[in-house]
Amino acid sequence: MDTNEYAQLFLTESREHITAVNQALLELERGANRPEASGAVDSIFRAVHTIKGMAGAMGYTGVAELSHALETVFDRVRRHELPIGGVLMETLFRAADVLEQRVEAAVRDGDASAPEGLMASLRSLAESHPEGDTGTWPTAAQDSASWPVAGQDTAGWPIPGDTSSWPVSSDTASWQIPGNTAGWQIPGNTAGWQIPGNTASWQIPAAEPGRLVRVRLAPNTPLRGVRAFLVVQAAGKLGEVASTQPSIDELQAEHFGDTFTFRLVSDADPATIERAIRSAGDVAEVSVESGSSSQSARGDDAAGVGTARRRSERTRHVRIDVRRLDTLMNLIGELVTVRGRLTRIAAELRDESLEEPVGQATRLITELRDEITASRLVPVSNVFDRFPRVVRDAARAAGKSVELEIEGKDIELDRSMLDEIGDSMVHLLRNAVDHGIEKPDVRRAAGKSETGRIALQAVRDRSAIVIKVIDDGAGIDRDRVLERAKRDGLVDSQKSDLTEDELLRLLARPGFSTADRVTELSGRGVGVDAVYTRVRGLGGAMDIRSSPGSGTTVMIRLPVTLAIVRALLARVADETYAIPVAHVSETIELEPALVRTVKGREVLLLRDDVVPLLRLRSLVGLPAYERHSAIELEQAVVIDLGDRRAGLVIDELTAQEEIVVKPYDAAREGLPFFGGATLLDDGRPSLIVDVSSLL
């Protein structure tokens, strides 16, 4: 079997582990002397060790070698043999970046070694002596050819009299026992051995923890090493795999038959452990130690399985290619269109025998749509978790001290939309660091903390997701923006101030920048422009609020999913347009008494509010509306986006439907008021109004 089958799984798993490594490195850098630092080191060690094992199983030697070098360094860190400091942290951050690049390149282009300079730095860290006098102790990197070997006379071995200062690890979980001791030899003459006088610090390893799990793979399993590793990894998601027999390296090298064992420290019951292991595939038999005896877990009829399942049932996850979810969404979209057509035909026929099956089909299609839509939603943490590292690197490049706070990581968004918005968020965060947060001395002079604060927030607002990037920096220099806009001929030379909308539109112009020079972070005028274009392309909206000396807030509003939305169908002359309900606050009949003209613009008197009016006929280039009777009135749809509102005047509202959003490629120099297209249940096409372009 070709290992390409496992390449995507390797890539996905490795990305998750590298994200965990970066998060733990940030924790380690912030609190090297705190108790939680040891937990961060252990997390990094486990993640790097897992990547090494997977890379070895896949044959990615370069990734495995880099992972092994990192693993060796972290082993010394957790044994307190290497002090946590600037040089070490910079090397580790660089190594994490290179590891991510090597993983991506191995899957895309084939395996390659890490840069020799980095490998040399890691080897230097791995081979350096621990602090203090180590005398003549042989280290792992030294040539062990001269060490005394089994069978020689050990009478002359120099044993120190006091071992109280020996560095003994209190954590025996990382001890490794050789898999084959058959060839060990006991020295023939031990008469001269000396026992240290002080054994107070000797530590005896505890009995090996965890349940014993025995796994037998199916006969003729292809890539047995890969399959065995996937089994161990699946079990590791339920707890900690304390040891394997044979070792992980031997498993990956396929130096075993069809059977191997490992110890699993987990609170999961045997049935849950069995299901997790069998999910790796090609598993013929599993036995899990339960209490003081081993219980065979070969099927659902095994003793205690039913009870155990009721006692501890875990959610099972299956990795699915996003393209399959896209196909499912397209199919359910077509079903929604057919459902509308079927409902309309049934209503026209008025056949009672059709009412029940049509109603049932409608309900089932709705439930299926909801389930498929939910299956595409993932927490924003999948992307947000990599931003602390982005902010850290940007702050160091700019010579600033910045802390990032993330809120709402559990908010869910469509997978494809989350992928699309990731790069845009990077632009906003880097802009906040470079343009927003001041240098430490400037902040200190202004009475602020030397460390700037950036908050990244995600909140749900009706059927939309709102993402905010808030900084406590100096705010946007409006005078400087206005001066640059006048110099470029973008605004009238007599203009003295900019509204929030005008400010956003200027900052979002391609190539517009107030930076005096191009830096690594900004100055090319593509940051806000790229974000604004991307957000509009996703059917969302962007807003900026800034206060001098207090900071800037950039707000992005996105629909949870782009595939299916509920919309009002509005008729204008012989054309029908769809207006997303998410942006509609109310609809009213446009009586003449409610319409006024203020400074040459029509407005709507809506209770205690004055709302600007926009006529859809005028926007799309149709002739003005003609009333055929005194009682015939136009209608207005009051749309809102954040704190902005307007009344959109139409001829008539015809229906409210769920519509399937199709990509819309507008003609060059075409109208910018539409963000998509759909097919109505009668087969006619309809354009979807982009509310953000109107407000």
Of the two residues 21 and 498, the one the predictor is more confident about is 21
Q: What is the mean pLDDT of residues 562-585?
A: 86
pLDDT at 551 over 70: yes
Q: How confident is the model at residue 382 (pLDDT cuts 50, 70, 90)?
A: confident
Q: Are 390 and 422 in contact (CB under 8 A)?
A: no
pLDDT at 176 over 60: no
Strand, helix or coil for residue 530: helix
Of the two residues 196 and 99, the one the predictor is more confident about is 99
Most confident of 281-295, 418-432, 654-668: 418-432
Please report the pLDDT score of residue 440 as a whole number.
Answer: 92
Please report the pLDDT score of residue 207 as a whole number.
Answer: 53
Q: What are phi and psi of 572, to 5 degrees?
A: -135, 110
Report d(CA 570, CA 391) in Å as an integer.
45
**Tokens read off for 3:** 């290992």
pLDDT at 457 over 90: yes
Please report the pLDDT score of residue 6 as a whole number.
Answer: 73
Q: How confident is the model at residue 415 (pLDDT cuts 50, 70, 90)?
A: confident
Q: Are 249 and 56 in contact (CB under 8 A)?
A: yes
Report d(CA 525, CA 508) in Å as an integer.
8
pLDDT at 304 over 50: no
Region(s) of the chain under CATH 2.40.50.180:
564-693
Q: CA-based diameter of the chain, in Å? A: 120
CATH of 564-693, one of 3.90.1150.10, 2.40.50.180, 3.90.850.10, 3.40.190.10: 2.40.50.180
Q: CA gyration radius for the chain?
A: 33
How large a percentage of the chain has pLDDT more than 70?
78
Region(s) of the chain under CATH 3.30.70.1110:
211-306
Q: Are 393 and 27 in contact (CB under 8 A)?
A: no
**Tokens read off for 88:** 């070490």
**Residues 21-75 pLDDT 10s:** 998 888 888 875 565 567 788 888 888 888 888 888 788 888 888 989 898 888 8
Region(s) of the chain under CATH 1.10.287:
322-376
Q: Are 44 and 74 in contact (CB under 8 A)?
A: yes
Please report the pLDDT score of residue 150 as a whole number.
Answer: 39
The secondary structure of 608-632, three-state, reads: CEEEEEEEHHHHCCCCCCCCCCCCC
Report d(CA 306, CA 548) in Å as an integer.
65
Q: How confident is the model at residue 574 (pLDDT cuts 50, 70, 90)?
A: confident
The closest of 21, 10, 46, 14 to 241, measured between CA atoms, is: 46
pLDDT at 138 over 80: no
Most confident of 173-182, 428-437, 660-669: 428-437
Region(s) of the chain under CATH 3.30.565.10:
379-559
The closest of 541, 542, 513, 545 to 527, measured between CA atoms, is: 513
The closest of 370, 343, 348, 371 to 359, measured between CA atoms, is: 343
CATH topology of domain 4-129: Four Helix Bundle (Hemerythrin (Met), subunit A) (1.20.120)
CB atoms within 10 A of CB 616: 24
Tell me which residue has tokens 């699915």: 320
Q: Which of 142-151, 482-491, 667-676 has the lowest mean pLDDT?
A: 142-151
CATH of 379-559, one of 3.30.565.10, 3.30.70.20, 3.90.1330.10, 2.30.130.10: 3.30.565.10
Report d(CA 113, CA 109) in Å as an integer.
12
Report d(CA 123, CA 301) in Å as an integer.
53
Contacts of 450 (CB under 8 A, 6+ apart): 401, 440, 443, 444
In eight-state DSSP terms, residue 139 is: P
Letter for the amino acid at 329? M
pLDDT at 314 over 70: no
**Residues 514-549 pLDDT 10s:** 665 545 555 434 468 778 878 877 777 888 888 888
Q: What is the mean pLDDT of residues 418-422?
A: 83
Please report the pLDDT score of residue 522 as a whole number.
Answer: 54
Q: What is the mean pLDDT of residues 11-19?
A: 86
| Angle 455-456-461 from CA coordinates, rounded to 5° | 120
Please give the mean pLDDT across all residues of the chain.
77
pLDDT at 577 over 50: yes
Please report the pLDDT score of residue 455 as a whole number.
Answer: 94
Please report the pLDDT score of residue 317 as a whole number.
Answer: 61
Region(s) of the chain under CATH 1.20.120.160:
4-129
**What pTM value is reported for the model?**
0.61
CATH topology of domain 211-306: Alpha-Beta Plaits (3.30.70)
Report d(CA 53, CA 71) in Å as an integer.
11
Strand, helix or coil for residue 526: coil
pLDDT at 315 over 60: no
Q: What is the mean pLDDT of residues 206-220?
A: 80
Q: Does domain 322-376 have CATH number 1.10.287?
A: yes
Q: What is the mean pLDDT of residues 262-273?
A: 88
Please report the pLDDT score of residue 449 as a whole number.
Answer: 92
How large a percentage of the chain has pLDDT more than 90?
12
Please report the pLDDT score of residue 645 as a whole number.
Answer: 87
